[in-house]
Amino acid sequence: MVDEIKKDGSGSEPKAMPLMLALQGQEVRLAEIQGGKEFQHRLAEMGLTPGVKFKIINQGHPGPVIILLKNTRLVLGRGMIHRVFVTPCDQ
């Protein structure tokens, strides 16, 4: 599955989880995108690149997820959020 992400070798952050498991109102950091180059490119065009922080605005059960990325709301479909992995940010 997804290995632990090391900060600087001295410690480790929590394991990455699928975006679908993040909580509404939670701030997360994008750890990994699992998918082909076209899918990764599509998300990169929206500003979703590894390391970027964003907030979950609406978890959307059963609809799409809404996130806040740099003062812009983005809507991610249910199929996308299973392939986007995040780690919680320190509050």
pLDDT of amino acid 61:
76
Please list the pLDDT of the chain residue by residue as tens digits (91 residues): 444 444 444 456 578 999 999 999 999 999 999 999 999 999 999 999 999 999 999 987 778 899 999 999 999 998 889 999 999 987 5
How do beta strands 53-58 and 72-76 pair? unpaired
Which sign does the torsion angle of CA 59, 11, 2, 46 carry?
positive
- The encoded tokens of residue 5 equal 């992400």
